[in-house]
C-alpha cells in the first residue's frame, strides 16, 4: 500500500510539475489523501502543502475548488490533532492518577510498622516516584520516614541477636559480655540520636518504637550486668577459696600485679598476713564489677570474714612480739637478780649478751613497756654519766627487731 501510494504521489507530483495549473491533478492528489491513515499525519501534511502551494499556480476560477479541497484536508488534519491531543491528555491524566494511586498504596503500607527491610524498599521506591511528582511535602515526609527506618533497622539488628543470646544464656565469657555491653551502649546512643530528628511528619506508631527500643536496651543491660555480676562473683569465690589457677588469663595477669605489690618476706605470721592482704586487695578490685545487690552482700560478708582473719593475725603477731620482748627482758632480769652485787660488767652483759636494745619500744604494750623500763633503768643506773649516755644512745639508735620477722 505504502509503495503504491508513493508511486501514485510521485506520479501526481510529476504531473503537476509539467502542468502546475491543472486542477485535476490537485484533485487526484487530494483523492490519494483519502487513503492515508489518520496515524500517518506527516503524509497528510505533505499533501496539504502541495494543495496550498497550488493556490498560486491554478487559474483564478479554479481557486475556489482547490481551496475547498485544501480546507477539507486541513479540517481532517486538525481533527486528527485534536483527537491525538485529547488522547494524550487522557493518557497523562490516567498516568497521574495511577501515580497517585501507587503513592497512596505505598503510604498505606508504610503507615504501620512492619518488616524494616521491606518498608525501606517501599520507601525508596516511593521517593523515586515522588521525584516525578515533585511534591515537596510528600518528599519531606517520605525522606523523614526513610531516615527513621534506616536508623531503626540498624538498632533492631543490634538488639535482636543480643536478646536471643541473653535469653539462651550463651555468654559465659567476660570478654564477650564486655563486647555486648559496648554494643548496647552504641545502640542506646543511636536511639537517642534518632529521637533528636524531626519525626513530626511520620506516623506516630514509629516514634513510639523508640521508647520500646530504650526499654529493650535497658532490659538487656540489666541481664548483661547480672551475668557479669554472676561471673565476677564466681571469680570472687575462686580468689576467696584460693582457686585462682582456674580463672581466665585476663584475671591472672591482673592479680599478678597485687602479688608483685605485696612480696612474701618475713616470719610465719607476716607471710600469712601478706597472703591474706594479697587476697583482700584482689577481692576489693572485684567488688565494683558485682552490681547485683544480693551477690554484693554475700561477697561483702566474705570480705568481713577475711578482714576478721587479718585482724586476728595482726593481733597474734603483735602478741608474739610482746612475748619475745618480755621473754628477753625477763631473762635479763633473772640475770640481774643473780648478780650480787650488780656492776658495770654485768650491765655490759645485759647490753651485749641479752641485747635488750633490739626491742622496738614503739611496738610494746603498756604492760610490756613496764618490764622493759625496769631492766633498762637497772642498766642505765649502774653506768656513770658518760657510759650511761652511750648506753642510752645504743638503746635508742640500734637496729630493732621488726615485727615483720614474726
The answer to which of 197-201, 274-278, 302-306, 378-382 has the lowest mean pLDDT is 378-382
Cα distances (angstroms) measured from residue 220 to each of 11, 161, 225, 293, 304: 91, 11, 8, 18, 32
CA distance 124 to 146: 7
Phi/psi of residue 264, each to 5°? -90, 110
Q: Is residue 132 part of a domain?
A: yes
Clarify whether residues 201 and 141 are in a common domain: yes
Q: Check residue 321 and give its pLDDT.
A: 92
Burial letters for 10-47: b for 16+ Cβ neighbours within 10 Å, e otherwise?
Answer: eebeebbeeeeebbebbbbbbebbeebeeeeeebbeeb
Instruction: Evaluate if residue 79 carries a pLDDT over 70.
Output: yes
Q: Is residue 72 part of a domain?
A: yes
Grid cell 500500500 in the structure block, residue: 1
C-alpha cell recorded at residue 379: 642498766
| Per-residue pLDDT tens over the stretch 196-226 | 888 888 888 888 888 999 999 999 999 888 8
The number of folded domains in the chain is 4
Clarify whether residues 7 and 86 are in a common domain: yes
Residue 370 near residue 329, CB atoms below 8 Å: no
Confidence of residue 83 (pLDDT cuts 50, 70, 90): confident
User: Domain of 68?
Assistant: 2-100
| Per-residue pLDDT tens over the stretch 156-183 | 999 999 999 888 876 567 788 889 999 9
| Per-residue pLDDT tens over the stretch 308-346 | 999 999 999 999 999 999 999 898 888 877 876 767 777
CA distance 173 to 177: 7
Q: Is residue 106 part of a domain?
A: no
Clarify whether residues 42 and 10 are in a common domain: yes
Amino acid at each position: 500500500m505504502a509503495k503504491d501510494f508513493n508511486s501514485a504521489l510521485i506520479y501526481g507530483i510529476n504531473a503537476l510539475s509539467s502542468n502546475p495549473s491543472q486542477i485535476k491533478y490537485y484533485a487526484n492528489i487530494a483523492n490519494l489523501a483519502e487513503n492515508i491513515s489518520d496515524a500517518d499525519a506527516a503524509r497528510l501534511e505533505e499533501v496539504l502543502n502541495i494543495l496550498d502551494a497550488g493556490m498560486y499556480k491554478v487559474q483564478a476560477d479554479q481557486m475556489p475548488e482547490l481551496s475547498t479541497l485544501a480546507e477539507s484536508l486541513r479540517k481532517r488534519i486538525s481533527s486528527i490533532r485534536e483527537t491525538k491531543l485529547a488522547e494524550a491528555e487522557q493518557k497523562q491524566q490516567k498516568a497521574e492518577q495511577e501515580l497517585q494511586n501507587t503513592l497512596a498504596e505505598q503510604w498505606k503500607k508504610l503507615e504501620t510498622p512492619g518488616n524494616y527491610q521491606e518498608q525501606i524498599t517501599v520507601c525508596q521506591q516511593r521517593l523515586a516516584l515522588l521525584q516525578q511528582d515533585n511534591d515537596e511535602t510528600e518528599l519531606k515526609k517520605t525522606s523523614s520516614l526513610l531516615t527513621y527506618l534506616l536508623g531503626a533497622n540498624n538498632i533492631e539488628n543490634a538488639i535482636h541477636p543480643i536478646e536471643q543470646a541473653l535469653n539462651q544464656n550463651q555468654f559465659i565469657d567476660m570478654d564477650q559480655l564486655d563486647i555486648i555491653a559496648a554494643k548496647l551502649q552504641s545502640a542506646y546512643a543511636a536511639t537517642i540520636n534518632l529521637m533528636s530528628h524531626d519525626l513530626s511528619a511520620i506516623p506516630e506508631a514509629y516514634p513510639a518504637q523508640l521508647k520500646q527500643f530504650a526499654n529493650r536496651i535497658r532490659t538487656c543491660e540489666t541481664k548483661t550486668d547480672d551475668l557479669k555480676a554472676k561471673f565476677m562473683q564466681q571469680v570472687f569465690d575462686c580468689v576467696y577459696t584460693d582457686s585462682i589457677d582456674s580463672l581466665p588469663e585476663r584475671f591472672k595477669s591482673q592479680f599478678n600485679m597485687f602479688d608483685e605489690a605485696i612480696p612474701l618476706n618475713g616470719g610465719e605470721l607476716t607471710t600469712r598476713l601478706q597472703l591474706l592482704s594479697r587476697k583482700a586487695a584482689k577481692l576489693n578490685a572485684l567488688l565494683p564489677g558485682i552490681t547485683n545487690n544480693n551477690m554484693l552482700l554475700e561477697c561483702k560478708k566474705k570480705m568481713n570474714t577475711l578482714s576478721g582473719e587479718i585482724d586476728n593475725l595482726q593481733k597474734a603477731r603483735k602478741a608474739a612480739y610482746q612475748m619475745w620482748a618480755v621473754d628477753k627482758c625477763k631473762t635479763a632480769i633473772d640475770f640481774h637478780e643473780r648478780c650480787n652485787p650488780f656492776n658495770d660488767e654485768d650491765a655490759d652483759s645485759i647490753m651485749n649478751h641479752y641485747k635488750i636494745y633490739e626491742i622496738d619500744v614503739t611496738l610494746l604494750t603498756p604492760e610490756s613497756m613496764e618490764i622493759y623500763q625496769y631492766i633498762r633503768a637497772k642498766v642505765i643506773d649502774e653506768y656513770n654519766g658518760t657510759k650511761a649516755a652511750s648506753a642510752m644512745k645504743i638503746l635508742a639508735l640500734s637496729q630493732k627487731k621488726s615485727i615483720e620477722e614474726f
